[in-house]
Structure 1
Amino acid sequence: QVYFKEIATPILPAIRRTINSCRAQKIPVVYTRHSHRDPSDYGMQEEWWNTVIRDGTPEAELMPEVDKRATDKLVHKHTYSGFYDTDLEQYLREHGKSEVIITGVMTNLCCETTARDAFNRGFRVFFSTDATATANEDFHEST
């Protein structure tokens, strides 16, 4: 996502390798995009961070470098979790998936929360340490 470009750019090669491997093995590729449509879905995000990523702004768009294709799934989320208040679980179950591979940013927030929610919903989770990143190495390593 453009908002996280500075943090995501160094791991883009690893993310692309993971995506290409998944595509080669016919594993669905799912992107999450974190943004807020209106104040009713800000939750604690605005209070904690003093800002939110607003839907429809350039910062809310996926980075073109990730090469999202029409066959890839895009999940719009407004919390750290890719599962909360989205159709991600339904999509995975409809496609017979029992495992997820986590890549992207922020390791200690969105990636970790999505991984925990996947586990709690009965999915086996694979967490790609070379294809995830966050604001600093301590946060990344502690996750």
Structure 2
Amino acid sequence: MTDTQKTALILVDVINSFFDPSQPNYYKGVEDVLEPIRRLRAAAKASGAVVVHAVERHRPGFDDFEWRKLPLHHLEQAFDAEFFGEFRPQGDNETLVLKRRFSAFFATDLALFLTEQKVERVIIVGVKTNVCIRATAQDAFANGFEPVVPREATNSNRPHLAEASLEDIDRYMGRVVSVDEAIGMLS
């Protein structure tokens, strides 16, 4: 793949659930990804690249298959499901994708949307490397997009699983790069 291909930035679950210290999914060190994500988003805005905010939201009062494995979380209009700080869609090049599973692609229109925008490569950032980032990278690859994960723009409370996921992404699906290299892809 060439460096001239059209690239989009996908922010995965940059929501209160993970980044607000009062929330049960918060973990020490998660804040380390915020500045790299800010830098990537600024580069995307400057170049006019598509920015997708993929956030998990579930319907209150209805059964959800995820409840079989995880406690209730990220219900529509609940504090934990709201965007963290300034990380909400802003401007003409930013959009929202609601997801109900780990992957931003599964049962959403993300692949269709990106195809319509002629995107070929996606830079995936946010939390957690071994769950939502990995699932999104795998489904990006399965849908014909080159997944790129900037190492400093994602992490996990399970570092050994994050490292294994990054290794698998780099070996089998796409690329793991530095934030600076990813910024270059957005410029």
**Is the TM-score greater than 0.5?**
yes
Query: Paired residue for 1:54?
Result: 75
Larger Rg: 2
Counterpart contact for 2:53–2:88, Cα < 8 Å: no
1:63-82 equivalence runs, <5 A: 63-66=84-87, 68-71=89-92, 72-82=94-104
Given residue 56 of structure 1, which amino acid in structure 2 is its aligned partner? Q
Unaligned runs of 5+ in 2: 1-14, 20-25, 166-187
- Distance in 1 separating the partners of 2:88 and 2:42: 10
Query: Paired residue for 1:3?
Result: 17
1:64 alignment partner, SS class:
coil
Counterpart contact for 2:58–2:74, Cα < 8 Å: yes
Query: Paired residue for 1:35?
Result: 57
- Once the two structures are aligned, what percentage of the paired residues are identical? 29
Change in 2 beyond 3 A, CA 1:139/1:65 = farther
Given residue 29 of structure 1, which amino acid in structure 2 is its aligned partner? V
- Distance in 2 separating the partners of 1:142 and 1:66: 27
Query: Paired residue for 2:135?
Result: 113
Instruction: Give the aligned CA root-mean-square deviation in angstroms.
Output: 1.5
Aligned-pair CA distance for 1:67: 5.3
Change in 2 beyond 3 A, CA 1:46/1:67 = closer
| TM-score with structure 2 setting the length | 0.71
2:124 alignment partner, SS class:
strand
2:151 alignment partner, SS class:
strand
Higher fraction of helix: 1
Aligned-pair CA distance for 1:119: 0.2
Change in 2 beyond 3 A, CA 1:59/1:98 = same
- Distance in 1 separating the partners of 2:99 and 2:45: 23
- Distance in 2 separating the partners of 1:65 and 1:104: 14
Given residue 63 of structure 1, which amino acid in structure 2 is its aligned partner? F
Aligned-pair CA distance for 1:3: 0.4
2:153 alignment partner, SS class:
strand
Unaligned runs of 5+ in 1: none
Counterpart contact for 1:36–1:55, Cα < 8 Å: yes
Query: Paired residue for 1:101?
Result: 123
Aligned-pair CA distance for 1:81: 0.8
- Distance in 1 separating the partners of 2:157 and 2:74: 17
- The size of the alignment, in residue pairs, is 141
Given residue 109 of structure 1, which amino acid in structure 2 is its aligned partner? V
| Mapped pair 1:128 → 2:142 | no
Aligned-pair CA distance for 1:16: 0.5
